[in-house]
Amino acid sequence: MMTLLGVLLFVVGLAFSIWFHELGHFVWARRFGMRVTQFMVGFGPTLWSRRIGETEHGVKAIPLGGYIRIVGMMPPGDEDLAGRKLGRLRKLVEEVRGASLLDIGPGDGDRVFYRKPWWQRIIVMSAGPAHNLVFAFVLFTIILVGFGIPTPTTTVDSVSQCVLPATAPRDAGCNVPVDETGAPCEAGPDCAIPVRSPASEAGFQPADRIVAIDGRPLDSWDGVRGVIRGSPDEPITVTVLRDGDEVDLTVTPLPNRVYADGTGESDETVTVGFLGLGPTTPYVQQPITSVPGQVGEFIAEAAQRLIGIPAKMPQLFRAAFLGEERDVNGPVGIVGVGRISGEVFGLPAEDAPFQEKMIFFLGLLASLNMVLFLFNLVPLYPLDGGHVAGALWEKARAVVARLRHKPDPGPFDTARLMPVAYVVASVFIVLSGLLLVADIVNPITLDSLQ
């Protein structure tokens, strides 16, 4: 039941994010006097619709986006094509233009999109992504200020009893012989009982609070971790507060090879010290002044991941059709994200309290809206960024014409960008299909993310 709740919450959150995006376009289009004939969430067959005023509001079957239909999105052509033989591509452009112009009624006059000032068109087309950014900002504020974020302390939460490879099974114990990969074994030169961790041998206990290392006071886990990582094979004296008394524990961190970037995306490794301590990580509410900086960092990271998607397509194809292991840092489709949301809500309460589930869900929804914000600003037609780029080009062209004492060339003919629109739409359809197949036959699961 909780798994189903997680999936339904994601579907509702996705639908609301799409609706809120289109609401941005709709509100500003109406404010500037444009006539909007349709306001739809989804594509394909209409499941439900109702006319309110001059606009039909509705929901369609495929929840992969939405749209509003503004009268006169494309200007009339500036050529007389009567009697001329048109090529297939030009004929397609003119058919699309004709369909757009058919929406214009006798009383529309200056209510059509292409007759509005360039800056009004930019505001209308930017308002959708801006709504996604605002929604993401609100969600991040709820997470950071309302719930808080896990913040490591200097108090010990867990002590690893032995040292196991990262590839070892999660249920591997410390009394079962394992090989160099962490797999259980029975005999052989590489088969042995895991060695005790330095922290266990030194006598660390849960609830110990680290107050100093080698006499140097420390009040943050980052400071503690930095000293431990920087002392492989070097004895250190850790002072802990235990039951009100200070206790000195001498321990030598084991050398451990880890990825330099901490993610595994780079092959470069470094040697650091390892003890086997896990800190307590209570949720600490953040000041509201920290939200802009946190959101800015997330935008930068999300933009990098968006730019890197084309490079990850070959691996996604191999994962979908050739059985290669799925890259957990690669793109995930709507089905995959909904599945993860369901898995999180399906976890037992002792493993994930409801508060943690809600934080994860809100973060998931905030990430989705951030992606919608960035993706729709890509300056390619028919995305919102393509319309914005067209309006900016129109203004730049008018300025140049004025400086050269020539007449204003008029509205930019967006109909000529229809070939680009079809290419962009085709790429989006192929990517969506590839993600759908990968999310079904080789999904990223919660276990693979941990």
Half-sphere exposure of 226 (CA within 13 A, CB side): 8
Please provide the DSSP assignment of 411-424 as one string: S--GGGGHHHHHHH
Give all strands (DSSP E) within 275-367, no chain letters. 277-279, 283-284
Number of domains in the chain: 1
- As given in the structure block, the two tokens for residue 128 are 């959708």
Whether 164 is in a domain gets the answer yes
pTM: 0.84
Lookup: tokens for 222: 């980052």
Name the band, by pLDDT with cuts 50, 70 and 90, for residue 179: confident
144 within 8 A of 150, measured Cβ to Cβ: no
Question: What CATH number is given to the structural domain containing 238?
Answer: 2.30.42.10
How does pLDDT run across 407-432, given as a tens digit for each residue?
988 888 887 788 888 888 888 888 98
Cβ atoms of 312 and 330 within 8 Å: the answer is: yes
Q: With respect to residue 234, please indicate whether it lies within any of the assigned structural domains.
A: yes
Q: What pLDDT does residue 63 have?
A: 82
Contacts of 142 (CB under 8 A, 6+ apart): 362
Question: With contact defined as beta carbons under 8 Å apart, do 303 and 327 qualify?
Answer: no
- Radius of gyration (Cα) for the chain, nearest Å? 29
Taking the CA of residue 326 as centre, how many other CA atoms within 13 Å lie in the half-sphere pointing to its CB?
23
User: What number is the average pLDDT over the span 376-389?
Assistant: 91
Tell me the pLDDT tens digit for each residue of 273-302.
989 999 999 999 999 999 999 899 988 988
pLDDT digits (tens, 9 = 90+) for 289-346: 999 998 999 889 888 888 888 888 999 999 989 888 888 888 888 888 998 899 888 8
Structure tokens at 198: 């330095």
- The one-letter amino acid code at 396 reads A
Q: Which residues contact 130 (CB under 8 A, 6 or more apart)?
A: 24, 373
What dihedral angle (degrees, nearest 10) is formed by the CA atoms of 123, 126, 128, 132?
-130
**Structural domain includes residue 372:** no
Residue 432 lies in a domain: no
Comparing CA positions, the residue from 277, 252, 273, 154 lying closest to residue 210 is: 154
Q: How confident is the model at residue 349 (pLDDT cuts 50, 70, 90)?
A: confident
> What span, in angstroms and rounded, lies between the C-alpha atoms of 150 and 359?
11
Active site residue 22: yes
How many residues does this entry show for the chain? 450
User: Would you state the pLDDT for residue 169?
Assistant: 67
Domain membership flag for residue 239: yes
pLDDT of residue 267 exceeding 70, the answer is: no
What pLDDT does 140 receive? 95
Residue 241: pLDDT band by 50, 70, 90 thresholds?
very high
Classify residue 190: in a domain, yes or no.
yes
pLDDT of residue 110: 87
Q: In the numeric block, which tokens belong to residue 254?
A: 């084991």
Note the pLDDT of residue 73.
Answer: 86
Are 316 and 438 spatial neighbours (Cβ–Cβ below 8 Å)?
yes
Give the pair of three-digit tokens for residue 221: 């886990």
Q: Is 214 inside any structural domain?
A: yes
Domain encompassing residue 228: 156-281
Which residue stretches of 112-194 are H helix? 118-141
Q: Give the per-residue pLDDT at 130.
A: 97
pLDDT at 418: 81
CA separation for the pair 298, 215 (Å, rounded): 38
Q: Which residues contact 143 (CB under 8 A, 6 or more apart)?
A: 149, 359, 362, 363, 366
